[in-house]
Amino acid sequence: MKKYISILAAMAALMSCQKEGIDTSLTAGDEIRFVLDIPSTKATASGFESGDQVSVYAVEYEGQQAPELQIAGNFLNNEKLTFNGSKWTAAHQLYWSSKPCDFYAIYPYQDLVSVEEHPFKVATDQNAIVSEYEIEDEGNVPDFVINGVNKGPGIQIDDLIWAPVNSGTYISYWEAMEVCPEGWRMPTKEEFLSLAAHRSKFSNGCYFSGSVPFNSNVTKMWLDANGRELHGEDAEKTKIYYRNSIGFYWTSERVGPLGANTFRFSKDGVSTEGLNIAEYYCSARCVREADKNTPTGNLDGYEASDLLWAKAEDVEKKDGSVKLQFRHMMSKCVVKVVKGEKFEGEIPNDIVCQLYNTVTSAKLDFTHGSVQKDAMGERKTITMKKLSDTRFEAVLVPQNIENRTPLIAVTMGGIAYLLEYSLSFKPGHVHTINLILNTSPDQEKIDISIDAETGGWE
């Protein structure tokens, strides 16, 4: 049975919005309501579970159609919705646009660095809990190149790489959403606050060191306190406030139809503040994720590898809600160990199943909901999730496995048996492989045959 879940982003009034002239008259009826329709099975359950998180984007129509989805500058940009077991909540309230929109969503939540070629890897141990990103090649930090000028390497603090310089000092919110080069984006307010967990003494600005207590020897990043620029009706009324005393940096997050959050810091502390995007110009600093191996979240490697994608087109407030029908993007392999006619005794309870020679890295096209195997990816071994003594499952990148190549390794009693088989793993399909034990494992020679079938992953 398919499970429908309503999402209503929680409202939270911002006093600063009232001070800056942001429209606070919006009611609950102006908030976007989501209905998520997931497949009857995701990797570990038939419905969403407490702690599940999804990414949501929305693109406003221009005339009769919506433009292509971009990494930033859309109406909604990678909004994180979290399920607590009974309802979903967003980091801030999400309001309807006055225009129709195309909505995109993906589960589990992803810190996207590209909407067309986002790097993704399925877990190699799909029994293990994936509690955080595994960083690859730490220290190999990319340079920040903007407008053809190399500004030097980024600054890695915790799991993020920050640009070494501002991309703008007094620019509008809309300019900030467009200014970052490919692969970079505006930070969220939570990312700014995490960066500011430790900082130096304020002096026309601050050094920030994230989760590491500040001292002169730690990796740190400087932000100037440039203040903010107020734009009046004409250029003569333009004025800069709080220069050298307060820093204002745009975040990627909107506050109602007329505002956006900024990261604010001074000698008195750090906070976030909503500003009217039609009046204020602030600083912008780009950020990107470090090279990562597996998704975040307290999921096991099996569920974290199961990407679900959805898109709803031409949706507006009069439709009442945004209905998102998710589908599986990856392939699923099921191995069943069954007794043959000549098998005697019980099937061992120490069986381990592994998939050999599979490429675990892929490129995710979030715009069209497709996944392509990384052409340069290494072939690795996936340890399948053990659901019982006789059933094993794994989520893997769609790909072809050639004949005369070991596909499955079955370990019983400390002895591994390699089985060759050719199979085309298709996106959104379940490939079931029956391993028939024709003789008992205690025999001198083990006879195992394969019977495979393919069906849709509903």
Q: Where are the domains of the chain?
A: 1-108+306-328, 135-291, 330-456
421 has a pLDDT exceeding 80: yes
Using 50, 70 and 90 to split pLDDT, how confident is the model at 206? very high
Residue 175 CB contacts under 8 Å (≥ 6 apart), including other chains: 168, 284
Tell me which residue has tokens 């999402």. 7
Rg (CA), the chain: 25
User: Matching CATH topology for 1-108+306-328 and 330-456?
Assistant: yes
Strand-pairing partners, residue 249, are 263, 283
Residue 116 CB contacts under 8 Å (≥ 6 apart), including other chains: 365, 366, 367
44 has a pLDDT exceeding 90: no
Task: Give the burial string for 175-184 (b: 16+ CB within 10 Å, else e).
Answer: ebbebbeebb
Distance CA 161, CA 48 (A): 31
At position 1, the amino acid (one-letter code) is: M
> Quick one: pLDDT at residue 19?
35
What are the pLDDT digits (tens) for 280-332? 999 999 999 876 543 444 577 888 899 999 999 999 999 988 999 999 999 99
What are the pLDDT digits (tens) for 234-245? 555 678 999 999
Comparing CA positions, the residue from 263, 261, 285, 287 lying closest to residue 275 is 261
Judge if pTM exceeds 0.85. Answer: no
CB atoms within 10 A of CB 291: 17
CATH assignment of 330-456, given 2.60.40.2630, 3.40.190.10, 1.10.1060.10, 3.50.50.60?
2.60.40.2630
Comparing CA positions, the residue from 412, 397, 398, 404 lying closest to residue 337 is 412
CB atoms within 10 A of CB 353: 23
Residue 177 CB contacts under 8 Å (≥ 6 apart), including other chains: 72, 73, 77, 186, 252
Strands (E), 124-189: 129-130, 143-146, 149-153, 155-157, 160-162, 168-171
Residue 77 CB contacts under 8 Å (≥ 6 apart), including other chains: 57, 177, 185, 186, 252, 253
* CB of 76 closer than 8 Å to CB of 94: yes
Three-class secondary structure of residue 360 per DSSP: coil
Strand-pairing partners, residue 328, are 308
What are the pLDDT digits (tens) for 210-261? 988 888 778 899 999 999 998 765 555 678 999 999 999 999 999 888 899 9
> Quick one: pLDDT at residue 231?
79
What are the pLDDT digits (tens) for 93-113? 889 999 999 999 999 888 888
What are the pLDDT digits (tens) for 145-181? 998 899 989 999 888 999 999 999 999 999 999 999 9
The CA-CA-CA angle for residues 51, 53, 55, to 5°, reads: 170
* CB of 309 closer than 8 Å to CB of 49: no
CB atoms within 10 A of CB 174: 13
- Largest interatomic CA distance in the chain: 93
> Quick one: pLDDT at residue 159?
82
435 has a pLDDT exceeding 60: yes
Tell me the two tokens of residue 231: 């734009």
Question: Is 1-108+306-328 in CATH node 2.60.40?
Answer: yes
415 backbone φψ class: left, alpha, beta (φ>0; ψ -120 to 50): beta
